[in-house]
Amino acid sequence: MSDTLPSPVDPIERALAQTTARVLVGRSGPAYRTATWLKLREDHAAARDAVQAEVDLVRDFGADRIAALGLFEVRTQATSKAEYLRRPDLGRKLAPEATELIRAQCPHGCAFQVVIGDGLSATAIRTQAPGLLERLVSAAHSRSWSVGRPFLVKYCRVGVMNDIGALLAPEVVVLLIGERPGLATAESLSAYLAYRPRPGHTDADRNLISNIHAQGVSAAEAADRIVALADLFRARCASGVTVKESLPGTNALPLA
């Protein structure tokens, strides 16, 4: 039997392994070290690029996936990225031509409707949304749910869910939308969920799974959680602050 004791874990290395935040990076006089400063500038540039970039349906999702899922593109009442950033209210309402196209292309009253919104990070859509969308559609079909035709909304804010709910009357709407990029990652996606969203609904009527990216919530975990919440919504006929996730390893239970 060896008398050698295991090497103690360096507390600094342990802390750094738990977060992408800039902690314990040291300093040079009153300033960051050069390597830290250069990485900060790189991440800031990536965040700015993610906000300004545009989603391209064919480039980002691929022709095969578009054909298989029937993906198509519409936009909100914002007519450009610049207007979208200046006028958040326009990103919450579908353009009139979008309303007509969705009405013509999507089935009414499905159990499960997935929508993709570019939001504030085209990078997050490109890196996270295609695989997660496939997982969600597959999981819904495996449960014999009726699944609406997915589509992309450009210049999208979360409130557009209300217009979609009023237009298509699905039971559950899932909006996959690019999060505001930070200096840890520009690739983070959020999934907003609502039961029968309609005009007048607010964030209190929605649930959220955030930080979907390579160093956060994985696509597989996000898909499982989204589908579980959708199941709960349908059973409870509700979503939002009255409905809580039951996550493995916690004592959290749905509210009565």
Binding residues, as ranges, are 158, 179
- In DSSP notation, 42-61 reads HHHHHHHHHHH----HHHHH
Instruction: Tell me which DSSP letter residue 182 carries.
Output: -
Question: Rounded to whole angstroms, how far apart are CA atoms 184 and 125?
Answer: 17
Give CA separation, 31 vs 20, 35, 50, 69, 161, in Å: 20, 11, 27, 51, 45
The residue type found at 162 is N
Cβ within 8 Å of residue 236, ≥6 positions away: 195, 242, 243, 254
| Phi and psi angles of residue 215, each rounded to the nearest 5 degrees, phi first | -105, 10
Query: 219: which 2 tokens?
Result: 């696509």
Rounded Cα gap, residues 136 and 65, in angstroms: 14
Burial class (CB in 10 A: 0-12, 13-18, 19+), 156: buried
- Bridge partner list, 114: 174
Q: Is 247 left (phi over 0), alpha (psi -120 to 50) or beta?
A: beta
Question: Binding site for adenosylcob(III)alamin, residues?
Answer: 158, 179
